[in-house]
Amino acid sequence: MEALSQRGQYEKGGIGRWFRDFRDQKILSLLEKDCGCLIDLGCGAGITLEKVVKQFPEKECLGIDLGKDDIKTCRAHDLPVIRGDVYRLSLRQESADCCLLLDVIEHLTRPEEVLEEINRVLRPGGRLILVFPNDRMFFLFRLLFLKFKEAFYNSGHVKQWRPREMKRLLRKKGFGIERSMNLPFFLWPISLYHLLRARKGAAEDRKDRSWV
């Protein structure tokens, strides 16, 4: 099946673009003021990265992706990107204040290794903002809005994560959960995304405001 372009889908507008903007607004609201250096891992075509760069021009931002076409697209939009593998980041230890991992972890066959790499490049107290989809609800919503091509498209997801399972993995890898929310609804079974912000090196989740 022909690949679906992130930019192409976004530029169509409609409910898909509205929800992408809604999701990204929630992500950007979780960025801390002291986040001077931000890394967007698996940045894709750079839709969210472009919003970060425009809204926070004072931050040093870098997108990393393995796809040649996505890197080319990002550069065509004047975004700061490099080609790289999320399993082996060419970044110094403790060099980043915040890492974004958006719509990525469900594609990974070895997610624990990637979280270990993120832990390595984050400074002490640095944040990870992570998003993963609810595939079942995406399928149903796409059918509802007659988006049949998107509904039956092979997304390449290797695992359907659930909020509690993801929290356990993050804690295991040295992160404390600070924020946790389902989007756009309160309950995970009827939502499209789960959004988490976690802090490196937090021994306890005293700031956890989990809704699941």
**96-116 pLDDT per residue, tens:** 999 999 999 999 999 999 999
Q: Give me the domains of the chain, ranges plus CATH numbers.
A: 6-210 (3.40.50.150)
Separation of alpha carbons 60 and 103, rounded Å:
22
In one letter, which amino acid is 92? R
End-to-end alpha carbon distance in the chain: 36
In tens, the pLDDT along 51-82 reads: 999 999 999 999 999 999 999 999 999 999 99
Which of 27-31, 64-68, 144-148, 190-194 shows the lowest per-residue confidence on average (mean pLDDT)? 144-148
Q: What pLDDT is stored for residue 3 in this prediction?
A: 53
Strand stretches in 23-171, DSSP E:
37-41, 60-65, 81-83, 96-102, 122-133
Helices and strands per DSSP (H, E), number in the chain: 8, 8
Q: State the CB neighbour count (10 A cutoff) for residue 192.
A: 19
**pLDDT score, position 205:** 47
For residue 49, what pLDDT band results from cuts at 50, 70 and 90?
very high
**Average pLDDT of 156-174?**
96
pLDDT at 1 over 70: no
pLDDT score recorded for residue 129: 98
Per-residue pLDDT reduced to its tens digit, 183-206: 999 999 999 999 999 999 864 444
Average pLDDT, stretch 149-155?
82
> Read out DSSP for 95-134?
-EEEEEEES-GGG-S-HHHHHHHHHHHEEEEEEEEEEEE-
Average pLDDT along the chain? 90
